[in-house]
């Protein structure tokens, strides 16, 4: 499998899974189930504290670039470690085929932590936005590279109507331009090229200066230590999203404290 095909494969598989999900629960039935759900937790507010850099700590068992990252994957234990460490939000990988995630993880984690939850997945259509709300997400990831401008706008409007925040992820100037034209409040800069899976920290340096100051900026991928976090704090990022460094750690709580300087 050549690296450039990974995103294509993930998307193809995701489309199959959406079809299956719709057969199990139709869009109409799904939307009907949203009535009376508890309010979402405010994600944007949680990750944009003045004069500090917030942490969105990620839960993921595997990734296409790293294979199985955490052997003894105990979802509830990881959630508890994050809660005890005082993270500002938690990102939960729900993609099944390449990241070993599951939608059911959202509510399981939500029952343990008090902070907002971001659903990290490959969201391609409106059904998944409703699904995210139903399964307990407070915010969703939208990847600019995968969505046309019209599609992005449609998904953002649905998310707004459901009380979901959204983190819109970019990794080059063209994608950033598209996102800035849509008045997106939270922009994620991904240092990882999703097509080649290579990480380049220069992506953040290049794109950060092009983003208006009123945006909440989250930096994702390749953040390994307290120097990286300090650099991003000085740069002016609102938040960092870190997964692998914690998932690889024997002691998650002390790794969070060490990387964040808490």
163-187 pLDDT, tens digit each: 999 999 999 999 999 999 998 999 9
| Separation CA 8–CA 31 (nearest Å) | 29
**Strands 239-242, 186-190: pairing kind:** unpaired
**Strands 54-59, 239-242: pairing kind:** parallel
| Separation CA 143–CA 82 (nearest Å) | 25
Strand, coil or helix: what is 1?
coil
What confidence tens digit (pLDDT) does each residue in 51-65 have?
A: 899 999 999 999 998
What confidence tens digit (pLDDT) does each residue in 109-138 have?
A: 999 999 999 999 999 999 999 999 999 999
- Note the pLDDT of residue 1: 44
> What positions carry a catalytic annotation?
58, 60, 120, 169, 190, 220-221
Residue with tokens 């938040």: 239
Q: Which of 160, 162, 224 is nearest to 192 (CA)?
A: 224
- In percent, the amount of the chain with pLDDT more than 70 equals 98
Helix (H) or strand (E) holding 131, with range, is helix 126-134
- Note the pLDDT of residue 101: 98
Q: What's the chain's average pLDDT? A: 96
What integer is the mean pLDDT of 207-213?
97
Query: What are the structural domains, with CATH classification, of the chain?
Result: 3-260 (3.20.20.70)
- Note the pLDDT of residue 196: 86
| Separation CA 217–CA 75 (nearest Å) | 27
What DSSP string describes 32-90?
Answer: HTTTTPPPPP-HHHHT--TTS-EEEEEE-SEETTTEE--SS--HHHHHHHHHHHT-SEE
What confidence tens digit (pLDDT) does each residue in 31-90 have?
A: 999 999 999 999 999 999 998 999 999 999 999 988 999 998 999 999 999 999 999 999
Q: Is the pLDDT of residue 257 over 60?
A: yes
Q: Model's pTM, two decimal places?
A: 0.96
pLDDT confidence band for 2 (50 / 70 / 90): low
111 burial class (0-12, 13-18, 19+ CB within 10 angstroms)? Answer: exposed
- In percent, the amount of the chain with pLDDT more than 90 equals 94
């Amino acid at each position: 499998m050549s690296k450039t095909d990974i995103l294509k494969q993930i998307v193809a598989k995701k489309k199959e899974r959406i079809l299956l999900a719709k057969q199990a629960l139709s869009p109409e039935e799904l939307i009907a189930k949203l009535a009376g759900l508890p309010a979402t937790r405010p994600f944007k507010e949680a990750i944009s504290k003045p004069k500090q850099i917030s942490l969105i700590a990620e839960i993921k068992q595997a990734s296409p670039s790293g294979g199985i990252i955490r052997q003894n994957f105990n979802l509830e234990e990881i959630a508890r470690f994050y809660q005890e460490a005082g993270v500002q939000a938690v990102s939960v990988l729900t993609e099944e085929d390449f990241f070993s995630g599951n939608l059911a993880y959202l509510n399981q984690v939500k029952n343990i932590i008090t902070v907002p939850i971001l659903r990290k997945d490959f969201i391609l259509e409106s059904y998944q936005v409703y699904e995210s709300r139903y399964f307990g997400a407070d915010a969703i990831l939208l990847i600019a590279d995968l969505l046309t401008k019209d599609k992005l706008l449609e998904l953002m409007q649905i998310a707004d109507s459901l009380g979901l925040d959204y983190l819109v992820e970019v990794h080059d100037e063209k994608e950033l331009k598209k996102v800035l034209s849509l008045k997106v409040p939270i922009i994620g800069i991904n240092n990882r090229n999703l097509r080649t899976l290579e990480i380049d920290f220069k992506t953040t340096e290049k794109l950060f200066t092009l983003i208006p100051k009123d945006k909440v900026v989250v930096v994702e991928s390749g953040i390994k230590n307290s120097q990286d976090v300090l650099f991003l704090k000085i740069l002016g990022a609102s938040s960092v999203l870190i997964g692998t460094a914690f998932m690889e750690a024997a002691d998650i709580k002390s790794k969070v404290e060490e990387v964040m300087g808490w």
